[in-house]
Amino acid sequence: MPIKNILFIMADQLRWDYLSCNGHPKIKTTNIDKLAKRGINFQNSFVQSPICGPSRACFYTGRTVFSNGVAWNRVPLPIGELTLNEYLKPKGIRTAVVGKTHMEPDTEGMDRLGLNKETDIGMIISEPGFEPFEKDDGLHPNPSYLERKQILNYNKWLKKLGYDGSNPWNDYANSAMGENGELLSGWNLRNSNLPARIKEEHSETAYMTMRAKEFIKETGSNPWCLHLSFIKPHWPYIAPDPYHRIYGNDDFLPIVRDQKEKEKPNPVYKMFMEEDVAITFSQQGTRETVLTGYMGLIKQIDDHLGDLFNFLDEQGKTDETMIVFTSDHGDYLGDHWLGEKELFHEASVKIPLIIVDPRKSADKTRGQISQQLVESIDLLPTFIEAVDLQVPTGRLEGHSLMPIINNEIENNLRNTVFSELDYGCYPVSDKLNINVNDARIFMIRNHKWKYIYYKGFDAQLFDLENDPNEFNDLGTSSTHSDIRKTMKDLLLDRLISRKNRVTQEDDVYAEMKRDDNKKGIIIGRW
């Protein structure tokens, strides 16, 4: 029996280890933990690129960055790339987003084909692939919001509730109030432990949960796939009361960094450590202040997910809905002398992934923790198989996780995971005098080794078994040259295995070599 509905939940910039079901000793993500007990918790899951736009494009297309072309934020997804909506459409599944996609429309491609954004097909392509039931990418600070004259439904809703000003997203949801009544922006990390000026029930997380319930109710008995994509705990790291005061110094994980990381570091890594955000997070007190808000925002998401799961029960949808919980990348939070994400330490490239399949076929793995190596591009073929459609292997580069979920596989699904970064848009490339086309980094990782290839620079190599914190870079170690060659060969194999024959399935392509005689085409016969 196929899955009827899919609830695809993503939290923005959520580290894999900031859930209690993944080992955090202090944060209590009760409802996400319940989800893990109902499904399977993949604790070795990785993104194809540790930055918002490219990562999400890979989730939505089932293809890697090089294949789908979304190299960085604000780079459009080419109009010819198929997304979740196209794959699920044959089943009549309504595919929509509530929240963030961080995807840009290919306006040049649409203009070339004469597609109007206002039409149904134009709207789907421009989003891309999602009906924008409540599209909101966040990040609306003054003055950019005013300059771009954005129309933000969340702002309109807040104004109806009595929040004044032209941009209550900025002035209330993501700002605090000073002792003298002054506005304290959540963009300044020093304010991350203060309460946002907004009532909790009017916050972004509460609003997106409300809109998700409205979508589910509106859809009724028809099948649906809802991408509920929370904007938080991505910065601004500022939470509404009471979530800003739940966690303090005694609740924070120890920082993961070592002075040896600064001794003769890889040149690209060194430049990232010298970026403003890295320097700020390396200062005493920054991390502690930010974690107060960051952990509070995670707890808030968990509480609202509990409300949403109860709603699914009330609507009779739980037993017919596959639920997926994940993130688009992690957050360094000062680990390894870095802030933000971008590079390939576990804090950045590793993500939480929980999948609940309500069907009896998944009962054998319910509540299990899987250590199999999994990639973000595996979700799309999983969804396709779950709704009983044929997975198009000629285009998709991921693997369906259904054999793992159904306990039908004994061997590893894959032996390595892969990720990449185009840093041509970063100031780092200019500081290193690197041509924009050469600013490329690739990671290949198995259970023991992580190898990171920098075009034009020495590689990095980490022994994950003996050095799980990734402090000891073996990229130039003379005793590890054979390991580096082995890992480089694995990387090359992955790079040359990407799919570019996307207009025909494998079986059709294979048949072509037997087709010439049928058509009377005779070449080279004596």
pLDDT at 149: 75
E strand segments, 286-378: 321-327, 350-351, 353-356, 368-370, 374-375
Query: Encoding tokens for residue 376?
Result: 């973000």
> What's the mean per-residue pLDDT of the chain?
94
pTM: 0.96
pLDDT at 499: 87
Q: Are 291 and 252 in contact (CB under 8 A)?
A: yes
Weakest-pLDDT range from 55-64, 107-116, 511-520: 511-520
Return the closest-CA partner of residue 54 out of 434, 423, 347. 423
**pLDDT tens, residue by residue, 39-94:** 999 999 999 999 999 999 999 999 999 999 999 888 999 988 999 999 999 999 99
Share of the chain above pLDDT 90, in %: 83
Cα 15 to Cα 340: distance, rounded to the nearest angstrom: 11
Task: Look at residue 513 and tell me whether its pLDDT is greater than 70.
Answer: no
Average pLDDT over residues 125-130: 82
pLDDT at 103: 86
Say which DSSP state 466 is in: T
Return the closest-CA partner of residue 380 out of 75, 134, 101, 85. 85
Task: Look at residue 410 and tell me whether its pLDDT is greater than 90.
Answer: no
Max mean pLDDT among 138-152, 423-437, 502-516 falls in 423-437
Model confidence at 514, in pLDDT bands (50, 70, 90)? low
Average pLDDT over residues 24-37: 98
Give the bridge partners for 453, in sequence order: 442
Weakest-pLDDT range from 57-71, 139-153, 394-408: 139-153
Weakest-pLDDT range from 32-41, 79-88, 148-157, 197-206: 148-157
Share of the chain above pLDDT 70, in %: 98
Please state at what angle helix 204-219 crosses helix 153-160, rounded to 10 degrees.
100
* Phi, psi of 222, rounded to the nearest 5 degrees: -75, 150
Q: Are 98 and 228 in contact (CB under 8 A)?
A: yes
Cα 351 to Cα 417: distance, rounded to the nearest angstrom: 13
Cα 27 to Cα 38: distance, rounded to the nearest angstrom: 20
What is the dotted CATH code of the domain comprising 5-144+193-414? 3.40.720.10
Query: Encoding tokens for residue 24?
Result: 């955090």
Average pLDDT over residues 407-432: 93
Instruction: Put residue 258 in one of left, alpha, beta given phi > 0 → left and psi -120 to 50 → alpha.
Output: beta
Task: Look at residue 524 and tell me whether its pLDDT is greater than 90.
Answer: no
CATH topology of domain 416-495: Arylsulfatase, C-terminal domain (3.30.1120)
pLDDT at 460: 98
Q: Are 10 and 103 in contact (CB under 8 A)?
A: no
Q: CA 113, 115, 121: angle at the middle one, nearest 5?
A: 125
Could you tell me the residue ranges of all domains in the chain?
Answer: 5-144+193-414, 416-495
- Alpha carbon 292 to chain centroid distance? 22
**pLDDT tens, residue by residue, 63-75:** 999 999 999 888 9
Secondary element (H or E) of residue 176: strand 175-177
Cα 275 to Cα 289: distance, rounded to the nearest angstrom: 20
**pLDDT tens, residue by residue, 240-260:** 999 999 999 999 999 999 999
Task: Look at residue 515 and tell me whether its pLDDT is greater than 80.
Answer: no
Task: Look at residue 272 and tell me whether its pLDDT is greater than 90.
Answer: yes
Average pLDDT over residues 171-192: 96
The length of the chain in residues reads: 526
